[in-house]
Amino acid sequence: MESNGLSIEQSQNLYYQKQSANQINTLVQQINSLIVASLNIHLNLEQNYTLNTSQTFMTLQTISTESLGDRLVQLVGNAQFQIPSNFTLSTTTNSSISLRVCFSFFIKFHCEYFF
């Protein structure tokens, strides 16, 4: 037994499980990035795309910067967030942004909000 109460075999199994989870995490991030890159080309202003599976929820919206302040963004179920009315963004007028929100229910991976 090791000092943490796990056998050497249990510690090795845990190590390899974490290593596999990190590899899956990396692949999921790459796939999400490719999906977002493809959709950014094809989504028009004020359109959105939602991917909702048992493992992942992701929404991508293209928003006018002028309509960004005091905006309520609806997610899965009752989840939502509000962009405050005093939110300022340093861009040119009449520009747009893509907002991506994602959750993973089984695999931990890093999701970002792109403004």
pTM for this model (two decimals):
0.57
Dihedral sign (CA 20, 23, 29, 34) = negative
Residue range 25-43: mean pLDDT, rounded: 83
Residue range 65-90: mean pLDDT, rounded: 80
pLDDT score of 112 more than 50: no
Residue range 27-55: mean pLDDT, rounded: 83
Q: What is the DSSP letter of 33?
A: H
- Domain spans of the chain, in order of start: 8-104
Query: What is the predicted pLDDT for the residue at 105?
Result: 67
Query: What is the predicted pLDDT for the residue at 115?
Result: 37
Q: How many residues does the chain have?
A: 115
Percent of the chain with pLDDT over 90: 0
Higher-scoring residue by pLDDT: 92, 96: 96
